[in-house]
Amino acid sequence: MSDQDNLLDQAKDLAARAERVAVLSGAGISAESGLPTFRTSQSGLWEQFDPETLATPQAWEKDHQMVWAWYLWRNSLVRDVAPNEAHKALGDWEKYAHVAVTTQNVDDLHERGGSTAVQHVHGTLFNFICSRCRKQYPEQVELPTEEVLRAEPPACPHCGSPIRPDIVWFGEQLPKEPWNNGVIAAQTCDIYLVVGTSAVVQPAATLPRIAQQSGAKVIEINPKRTPESSLCDVSLRMSATEALPILLEARAATRL
Ligand code: NAD
Ligand code: ZN
């Protein structure tokens, strides 16, 4: 039996017994739906731009029309893809255990995969707020029919300032409520699954440590080693769509 087979057995055993499951997900879980992670290249018009530069308050100050067009493009990428077997396994898992998802992703694939308790600690692509008065923008946002490098965002109905995506840009504070719920989930789970995140973006990367200190077993699912790997109780070198259905199956089988 290889080390990885042995580790998978350990993870299945932990999953089978867990009544409360908490998950930290990152861009890797959506990669198999066809959404690029930040560290894989952008495509089309956006190939030449660095996402880590665009997703910043500074970029917005300098050229809000460009940042707006980039988000419209990302928004349309998400609308064109479907949740994969990993998102769906987490949704189905709710039939067998309490499942709390904390995601760094700004897509809605967990929700479309059936998860009902999802905390977006970095915001979502589908909510918009005023860049000045921060009020929610209540209208639908029209997507352009072709890729554009600049677009003027709608004006806030209250103060006339441009609206922006309700996303946490580099250097901005995390929203309190999703973060607090993510901490509570980490403190109260039996197993903590770290799926498809390079675990380098703080403070989300501290959640697995909180879970471990509170007595949970931490299982990492990532085809590549990360700075988190050696700290996890079980680190699986598997993709999210391979590993999560197997762990769910182990849990489902214990109830028969
Ligand atoms: P990241 O790009 O830093 O890391 C992605 C990780 O996923 C890598 O460690 C990679 O090895 C792993 N991975 C790749 N394919 C995988 C698979 N099939 N199964 C499991 N793991 C896989 O992403 P991050 O850790 O989420 O952090 C970067 C930031 O990028 C976050 O703040 C997030 O908000 C943002 N982001 C979000 C999306 C999205 O919403 N889908 C997309 C791009 C970036
Ligand atoms: Zn306003």
In order of their start, the domains of the chain are: 1-35+83-122+174-256 (3.40.50.1220), 36-80+123-167 (3.30.1600.10)
d(CA 54, CA 46): 10
Q: Which ligand is nearest to the CA of 244?
A: 1
Q: Which of 245, 207, 200 is nearest to 224 (CA)?
A: 200
* pLDDT tens digits in sequence order for the chain, 256 residues long: 688 899 999 999 999 999 999 999 999 999 999 998 776 667 778 888 888 889 999 999 999 999 999 999 999 999 999 999 999 999 999 999 999 999 999 999 999 999 999 999 999 999 999 999 999 999 989 888 888 999 999 999 999 999 999 999 998 999 999 999 999 999 999 999 999 998 777 777 899 999 999 999 999 999 999 998 999 999 999 999 999 999 999 999 996 5
- Closest residue (by CA) to atom 32 of ligand 1? 104
- Ligand 2 midpoint to CA 108 (Å): 25
- Closest residue (by CA) to atom 18 of ligand 1? 239
Q: Can you give the pLDDT at residue 40?
A: 67
Q: Can you give the pLDDT at residue 42?
A: 75
- Ligand 2 midpoint to CA 161 (Å): 5
Q: Can you give the pLDDT at residue 256?
A: 53
Residue written as token pair 């055993």:
13
Pocket test of ligand 1: the residue of 23, 32, 33, 38 to mutate, having most ligand atoms within 8 Å of its CB, is 38
d(CA 82, CA 75): 13
Q: Can you give the pLDDT at residue 47?
A: 85
Q: Which residues line ligand 1 (CB under 6 A)?
A: 26-28, 30-32, 35, 37-39, 104-107, 122, 195-198, 201, 221-224, 226, 239-240
Burial profile 41-63: b = 16 or more Cβ within 10 angstroms, e = fewer: ebeeebeeeebeebbbeebbeee
Pocket test of ligand 1: the residue of 24, 37, 201 to mutate, having most ligand atoms within 8 Å of its CB, is 37
Q: Can you give the pLDDT at residue 39?
A: 65
Q: Can you give the pLDDT at residue 41?
A: 61
Query: 98-103 and 20-25 as β-strands: parallel, antiparallel, unpaired?
Result: parallel
Q: Can you give the pLDDT at residue 145?
A: 83
Q: Can you give the pLDDT at residue 61?
A: 96
Strand ranges (E), 168-225 = 191-195, 217-221
Catalytic positions are 122
Q: Can you give the pLDDT at residue 155?
A: 97
Q: What is the pTM of this model?
A: 0.94
- Ligand 1 midpoint to CA 157 (Å): 35
